[in-house]
């Protein structure tokens, strides 16, 4: 779909896939069980990478989340997911993971912070103490939600929640993206309008058609049948990763790593599609394997390589 929705970015995205495939085979040489001593190194490098944009980059759309190297841009919050999961799968102090999450929130990039935070999920489920702490934190979060909404969240983040609850209250402002996404999905019908024939995407009514809203743009051009095939493909990928995880329980580090990446891909897919169809607020979380973004695909393929190292 990239050749239809963002033809000028096609070759750059193809290059990202080539780099990602190379890193996939590099990852197959890394076994988390055999690299426990390097966990701290991965953690420190990850923290420095997500801190770098805050120090040396300028604001882009209200945040500093990118590093620019010549004609290329890198999003460290995507790149660090594999290294951070390597750290989490071998560490005895998993709560240190909150440090890079906090740094990402300082950029500020709530969507990416949530995405990185999800990596700790398998450790929470595996460790009874962490599970109890997570439940207590969730209860505290529920009771302090009004305070968080009024004080912690940025104005644009509060606006996103308002537009999610009632997009028609500001159809040309904060609710515009969601409304256009839903129009695109609905207008695609069963077979779609055809390759490069979508009105919402091709005529630029749908913002971020090649990144955040690529699911809606795809549904418009290719239709419901293509969407079903895409969802089935995601199910197969995620189901395969979970099965792979539970087949490696004899290697605790690899088990936790695989489970973390499986949860990550599932969560990103659910959140992205959820915001496209209007059941979740709009966040800047890419759709795995589909959204334009070299950092995301490189990070995913590197992580998959590690999973298949054994």
pLDDT digits (tens, 9 = 90+) for 242-271: 999 999 888 889 999 999 999 999 999 999
- Distance from C-alpha of 54 to C-alpha of 64, rounded to nearest angstrom: 6
Residue 35's pLDDT is: 61
pLDDT at 36 over 70: no
For residues 203 and 286, the model is more confident at 286
Residue 24's pLDDT is: 95
CA distances 72 to 86, 199, 263, 282, 301, Å, are 26, 30, 29, 26, 19
Its pTM stands at 0.90
- The HSE-up count of residue 62 (CA atoms within 13 Å, CB side) is 9
Picking from 113, 114, 115, 110, the residue whose alpha carbon sits closest to that of residue 156 is: 110
pLDDT at 21 over 80: yes
pLDDT digit string, tens, across residues 156-205: 778 777 777 888 777 777 788 888 898 999 998 998 898 888 888 777 77
- Average confidence (pLDDT) over 115-122: 94
pLDDT at 211 over 80: yes
Residue 204's pLDDT is: 75
| CB of 303 closer than 8 Å to CB of 81 | yes
Q: Omega of the bond prior to 108 within 30 degrees of 0, cis?
A: yes
Residue 158's pLDDT is: 80
- Average confidence (pLDDT) over 114-142: 91
pLDDT at 117 over 70: yes
Domain count, the chain: 1
For residues 169 and 68, the model is more confident at 68
Residue 262's pLDDT is: 96
Chain-centre distance of CA 26, in angstroms?
A: 22
Among positive and negative, which fits the CA dihedral 263, 265, 269, 275?
Answer: positive
Lowest mean pLDDT among 15-24, 204-213, 228-237, 274-283: 204-213
Residue 34's pLDDT is: 63
Give the domain range for residue 234: 2-307
Picking from 185, 177, 178, the residue whose alpha carbon sits closest to that of residue 221 is: 185
Highest mean pLDDT out of 31-45, 50-64, 121-135 = 121-135
């Amino acid at each position: 779909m990239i050749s239809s929705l963002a033809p000028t970015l096609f070759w750059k995205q193809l290059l990202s896939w080539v780099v990602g495939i190379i890193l996939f085979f590099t990852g197959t040489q890394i076994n988390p069980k055999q690299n426990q001593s390097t966990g701290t190194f991965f953690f420190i490098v990850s923290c420095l990478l997500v801190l770098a944009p805050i120090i040396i980059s300028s604001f882009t759309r209200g945040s500093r989340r990118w590093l620019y190297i010549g004609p290329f841009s890198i999003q460290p919050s995507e790149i660090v997911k594999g290294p951070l999961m390597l750290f989490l799968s071998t560490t005895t102090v998993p709560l240190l993971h909150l440090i890079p999450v906090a740094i990402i929130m300082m950029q500020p990039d709530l969507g990416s912070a949530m995405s990185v935070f999800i990596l700790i999920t398998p450790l929470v489920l595996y460790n009874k103490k962490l599970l109890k702490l997570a439940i207590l934190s969730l209860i505290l979060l529920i009771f302090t939600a009004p305070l968080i909404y009024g004080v912690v969240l940025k104005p644009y983040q509060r606006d996103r929640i308002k537009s999610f609850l009632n997009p028609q209250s500001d159809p040309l402002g904060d609710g515009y993206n969601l409304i256009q996404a839903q129009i695109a999905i609905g207008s695609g019908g069963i077979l779609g309008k055809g390759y490069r024939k979508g009105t919402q995407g091709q005529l630029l009514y749908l913002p971020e058609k090649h990144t955040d809203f690529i699911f809606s743009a795809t549904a418009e051009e290719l239709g419901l049948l293509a969407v079903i095939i895409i969802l089935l493909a995601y199910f197969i990928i995620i189901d395969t990763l979970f099965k792979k995880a539970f087949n490696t329980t004899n290697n605790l580090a690899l088990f936790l790593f695989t489970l973390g990446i499986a949860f990550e891909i599932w969560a990103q897919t659910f959140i992205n599609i959820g915001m496209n169809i209007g059941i979740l607020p709009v966040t800047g979380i890419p759709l795995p394997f589909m959204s334009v973004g070299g950092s995301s695909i490189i990070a995913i393929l590197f992580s998959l390589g590690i999973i298949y190292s054994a």
